[in-house]
């Protein structure tokens, strides 16, 4: 089970969920219980490991806190200086810290005192450190937590045999900044990057892990590069005020992130043993139970994100029978139809259903034929009604023309000319006027008198055409007389 991808990470998530609960019997929270167990085992380790160098009379004044003393087996030993007659010249309150692979990757240190700033720069120079990570402010709660070991931007200051100048200072986020510091010693010059987290309360934790995770990622990228390989890299110096609470929290998170970066989904995260090993190398690393909870919650977000990137395992299903597979879908540019499926469905229709569809089709054809016949009959009646209307209009117009004043060419000529004009006008407007016959019937209706008067109907309509529409049969009118304005004398 442990070899499966994501099994160790899922176990970590379940462990954090279990620690978040409070026991109904004892009323103790899981995180508080684990921290109490961690403290109990740490006290046993502390009592068994010597720390004589930090308690010697020569070095006691170099410790910021009397109870935070480095163990002798892992303390940082400064190189000897022949010009320094101090018997404790090799002491500084700082400890080497190993990562999960045993690499000496960190140095956990207290914030330098005013009289130990030169020792701090001796440590930076001798370890060839390139990154210094600071997790406290100069003053917190009206108390000095760390001496300022760098000058302001553009200025230069001497600390023992080291000349320090700050080239640049920039806030990367509202929570932390980055300084570029130049160090000169015995004719040599180096540039050190100093990352400074400003919003972490002493003995407490930030409101959310996001800002700290961003800080740790930025520091780790600058320290190890994109590869994340610590091989051959100088140690990362991390300090706060005492060099154990906030310093231990940052180092514990970074160790777990290195494991995730190296092992990926096969990682196994064990915060309890990680912190316990840190306490074997320096006293009170991850100093409070709130800081322990903070480490868990900060890593929980990263672990859940890593698990979310895993694809769900595909079940080993037996091969499907080709006969049970769905028929292929024929795809068209505009219509997506499974033709084979439609054919298969049509074959399964019962004979009774087919007969019902046939009857419905025949009825639809009959209704369509009847509708077409009615349409043709209505059009024929409309044509006959228009002829009757035109005939009556022409008779009335002719009567008016005959009763008027006769001209020299004959009175009937005037009536005939008006008849032609009225006939042409009627042909142009017959599509726009409402067709009403002599009996006041709307076009399409036929009265009994019009049906019986076959003589008048035959004058204009002889028979129906091939499409059922009436054909007009008229007598040829012959050439029309030219107007007087068009006579040959007028043209001449």
What is the tens place of the pLDDT at every residue in 256-311?
999 999 998 899 999 999 999 999 999 999 999 999 999 999 999 999 988 888 76
Range of the domain at 78: 7-308
Residue 474, in any domain of the structure: no
Model confidence over 194-248: pLDDT tens digits?
Answer: 999 999 987 789 989 999 999 999 999 999 988 888 888 999 999 999 999 999 9
Residue 395, in any domain of the structure: no
Residue 373, in any domain of the structure: no
Tally the domains of the chain: 1
DSSP string over 296-363: HHHHHHHHHHHHHTSPPPPP-PPPPPGGGSPPPPEE-SS-EE-HHHHHHHHHTS-HHHHHHHHHHHHH
Weakest-pLDDT range from 6-10, 81-85, 231-235, 387-391: 387-391
Q: Which of 74, 136, 146, 240 is catalytic?
A: 240
Judged against a pLDDT cut of 60, whether residue 174 lies above it is answered with yes
Sequence-distant (6+) residues with CB within 8 A of 131 are 192, 193, 195, 219, 222, 223, 236, 237
Judged against a pLDDT cut of 70, whether residue 366 lies above it is answered with no
CATH of the domain at 291: 3.90.190.10
Residue 137, in any domain of the structure: yes
Q: Mean of the per-residue pLDDT values for the chain?
A: 78
pLDDT of amino acid 417: 44
**Does the annotation count 133 as an active-site position?**
no
* Position with higher pLDDT, 2 vs 480: 480
User: Cα-atom radius of gyration of the chain, to the nearest Å?
Assistant: 54
Residue 98 pairs in a beta bridge with: 104
* Position with higher pLDDT, 311 vs 410: 311
DSSP string over 122-141: HHHHHTT--EEEE-S-SEET
Is the separation of the CB atoms in 266 and 5 below 8 Å?
Answer: yes
Is the separation of the CB atoms in 330 and 339 below 8 Å?
Answer: yes
Q: Where are the alpha helices (DSSP H) in 59-131?
A: 117-126
Residue 321, in any domain of the structure: no
156-159 β-sheet, strand order: 75-77, 91-98, 104-109, 236-239, 131-134, 188-197, 176-185, 162-171, 156-159
Weakest-pLDDT range from 57-71, 311-325, 389-403: 389-403
Residue 51, in any domain of the structure: yes
pLDDT of amino acid 490: 46
pTM above 0.85, yes or no: no
Judged against a pLDDT cut of 50, whether residue 448 lies above it is answered with no
Residue 98, in any domain of the structure: yes
pLDDT of amino acid 342: 53
Is the separation of the CB atoms in 407 and 414 below 8 Å?
Answer: yes
Residue 335, in any domain of the structure: no
Model confidence over 18-27: pLDDT tens digits?
Answer: 999 988 888 8
Q: Which residue has the tokens 């142009």?
A: 428
């Amino acid at each position: 089970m442990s070899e499966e991808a994501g099994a160790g990470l899922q176990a970590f998530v379940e462990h954090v969920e279990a620690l978040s609960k409070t026991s109904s019997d004892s009323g103790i929270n899981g995180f508080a219980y684990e921290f109490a167990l961690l403290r109990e085992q740490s006290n046993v380790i502390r009592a068994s490991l010597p720390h004589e160098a930090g308690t010697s009379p020569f070095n006691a004044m170099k410790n910021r806190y009397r109870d935070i003393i480095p163990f002798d087996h892992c303390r940082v030993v400064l190189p000897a200086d022949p010009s320094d007659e101090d018997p404790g010249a090799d002491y500084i309150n700082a400890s080497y810290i190993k990562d999960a692979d045993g690499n000496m990757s960190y140095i956990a240190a207290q914030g330098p005192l005013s009289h130990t700033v030169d020792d701090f720069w001796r440590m930076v120079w001798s370890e060839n450190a390139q990154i210094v990570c600071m997790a406290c402010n100069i003053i917190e709660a009206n108390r000095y937590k760390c001496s300022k070991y760098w000058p302001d931007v553009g200025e230069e200051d001497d600390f023992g045999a080291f000349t320090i100048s700050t080239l640049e200072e920039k806030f990367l986020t509202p929570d932390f900044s980055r300084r570029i510091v130049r160090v000169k010693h015995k004719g040599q010059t180096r540039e050190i990057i100093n990352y400074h987290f400003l919003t972490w309360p002493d003995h407490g934790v930030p409101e959310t892990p996001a800002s700290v995770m961003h800080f740790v990622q930025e520091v780790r990228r600058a320290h190890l590069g994109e590869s994340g390989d610590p091989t051959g890299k100088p140690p990362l110096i991390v300090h706060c005020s005492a060099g154990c609470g906030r310093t231990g929290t940052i180092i514990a998170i970074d160790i777990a992130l290195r494991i995730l970066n190296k092992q990926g989904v096969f990682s196994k995260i064990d915060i309890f043993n990680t912190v316990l090993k840190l306490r074997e190398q320096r006293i009170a690393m991850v100093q409070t139970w709130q800081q322990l909870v903070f480490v868990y919650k900060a890593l929980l977000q990263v672990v859940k994100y890593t698990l979310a990137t895993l694809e769900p395992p595909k079940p080993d299903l037996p091969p499907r029978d080709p006969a049970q597979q769905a028929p292929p879908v024929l795809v068209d540019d505009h219509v997506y139809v499974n033709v084979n499926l439609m054919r298969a469905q049509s074959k399964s229709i019962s004979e009774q259903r087919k007969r019902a569809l046939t009857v419905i089709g025949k009825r639809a054809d009959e209704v369509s034929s009847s509708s077409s016949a009615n349409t043709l009959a209505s059009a024929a009646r409309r044509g006959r009604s228009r002829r009757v209307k035109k005939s009556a209009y022409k008779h009335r117009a002719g009567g008016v023309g005959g009763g008027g004043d006769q001209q020299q060419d004959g009175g009937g000529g005037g009536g005939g000319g008006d008849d032609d004009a009225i006939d042409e006008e009627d042909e142009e407007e017959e599509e726009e006027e409402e067709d009403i016959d002599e009996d006041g019937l709307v076009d399409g209706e036929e009265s009994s008198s019009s049906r019986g008067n076959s003589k008048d109907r035959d004058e204009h309509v002889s028979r129906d055409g091939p499409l059922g529409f009436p054909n007009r049969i008229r007598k040829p009118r012959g050439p029309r007389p030219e107007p007087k304005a068009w006579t040959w004398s007028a043209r001449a």
